[in-house]
Structure 1
Amino acid sequence: MAAKEKPDAEATEITEAGDGAVEPSSSDAAGLPHHSFLSRLYTGTGAFEVVGRRRLWYGISGAIVAVAILSILLRGFTFGIDFSGGTTVSMPAAGSSGTVQTSQVSEVFKKAIGGDPESVVIVGSGGSATVQIRSETLNNDQSTKLRNALFDAFQPKGTDGKPNKAAISDSAVSETWGDQITDKALIALGVFLVLVGVYIMIRYERYMAISALLTMVFDLTVTAGVYSLVGFEVSPATVIGLLTILGFSLYDTVIVFDKVEENTHGFQHTTRRTFAEQANLAINQTFMRSINTSLISVLPVLALMVVAVWLLGVGTLKDLALVQLVGILVGTYSSIFFATPLLVTLRERTELVRNHTRRVVKRRAPDARSRGEAAPDDADEQTDPSDAAPAGEDASTEAVTKPAPNKPAPGARPVRPTGTRRPTGKRNAGRR
Structure 2
Amino acid sequence: MSKLGQLGAKLHRGDVSYDFIGHRKLWFSVSAILVIVSLAGLFARGLALGIEFKGGVEYQAKVKVTGDTVQNFTDAVKATNAKDLGDPVVTTIGDGAVRVQTKPLGQDDIAKVRAAVAKEAGVPIDQVTSQQIGASWGKQIANKAILALIVFLVLVFAVIWLYFREPKASMAAIIALIHDVTITVGIYAIIGFDVTPATVIGVLTILGYSLYDTVVVFDKVRENTRGITGSNRYTYSDATNLAVNQTVVRSINTTITALLPVGAILVVGTVVLGTGPLKDLSLALFVGIAVGAYSSIFIAPALLAVFKEREPGMQALHRRVMAKRAQTAAAGTPAPAVATAGAGPGAGAVAARSAVQDAPRKQDRPAGTAPTPAPRPMKATAAGRPQPSRKPRSKRGK
Class of the TM-score when normalised by the shorter of the 2 chains: 0.7 to 0.9
* Cα distance, 1:215–1:430 mapped onto 2, change above 3 Å: farther
* Cα distance, 1:130–1:349 mapped onto 2, change above 3 Å: same
Map of 1:344 onto structure 2:
305
Matched, 1:143 2:110: yes
**Deviation per residue, 1:313-332 (Å, 9 max, x gap):** 77223222121111101100
Distance in 1 between residues matched to 2:216 and 2:228, nearest whole Å: 19
Greater helix fraction, Structure 1 or Structure 2: 2
Distance in 2 between residues matched to 1:194 and 1:367, nearest whole Å: 47
Match among 110, 121, 125 for residue 156 of structure 1? 121
| Structural mapping, 1:11-410, within 5 Å | 39-44=6-11, 45=14, 46-91=16-61, 92=63, 100=72, 102-108=74-80, 110=81, 113=82, 115-123=83-91, 130=98, 132-139=100-107, 142-151=109-118, 154-157=119-122, 163-204=123-164, 205-309=166-270, 315-365=276-326, 369-370=330-331
> Is 2:77–2:88's contact at 8 Å kept on the other side of the alignment?
yes
Q: Secondary structure at the match of 2:52?
A: helix
Q: Give the share of equivalent positions with the same residue, in percent.
A: 36
**Deviation per residue, 1:282-303 (Å, 9 max, x gap):** 1111011101111222223234
Map of 2:356 onto structure 1:
none
1:229 Cα offset (Å): 1.0
* Cα distance, 1:410–1:71 mapped onto 2, change above 3 Å: farther
In structure 1, what residue type is equivalent to 2:121? P
In structure 2, what residue type is equivalent to 1:272? R
> Is 2:265–2:282's contact at 8 Å kept on the other side of the alignment?
yes
In structure 1, what residue type is equivalent to 2:115? N
* Cα distance, 1:371–1:134 mapped onto 2, change above 3 Å: closer
1:169 Cα offset (Å): 2.9
> Is 1:212–1:339's contact at 8 Å kept on the other side of the alignment?
yes
Unaligned runs of 5+ in 2: 337-359, 379-386
In structure 2, what residue type is equivalent to 1:429? P
Distance in 2 between residues matched to 1:326 and 1:230, nearest whole Å: 12
Distance in 2 between residues matched to 1:137 and 1:188, nearest whole Å: 32
Distance in 2 between residues matched to 1:138 and 1:83, nearest whole Å: 19
* Cα distance, 1:150–1:40 mapped onto 2, change above 3 Å: closer
Report the TM-score, using the length of structure 2 for normalisation: 0.77
- Equivalent pairs, count: 351
1:414 Cα offset (Å): 7.4
Q: Secondary structure at the match of 1:87?
A: strand
In structure 2, what residue type is equivalent to 1:71? G
Q: Secondary structure at the match of 1:193?
A: helix
> Is 2:309–2:315's contact at 8 Å kept on the other side of the alignment?
yes
**Deviation per residue, 1:65-97 (Å, 9 max, x gap):** 1111111111110111111112123455879x9
Report the TM-score, using the length of structure 1 for normalisation: 0.71
> Is 1:373–1:410's contact at 8 Å kept on the other side of the alignment?
no
Unaligned runs of 5+ in 1: 1-35, 158-162, 376-406
* Cα distance, 1:359–1:296 mapped onto 2, change above 3 Å: same
In structure 2, what residue type is equivalent to 1:56? L
Match among 388, 393, 396 for residue 425 of structure 1? 388
Distance in 2 between residues matched to 1:255 and 1:421, nearest whole Å: 53
* Cα distance, 1:170–1:430 mapped onto 2, change above 3 Å: farther
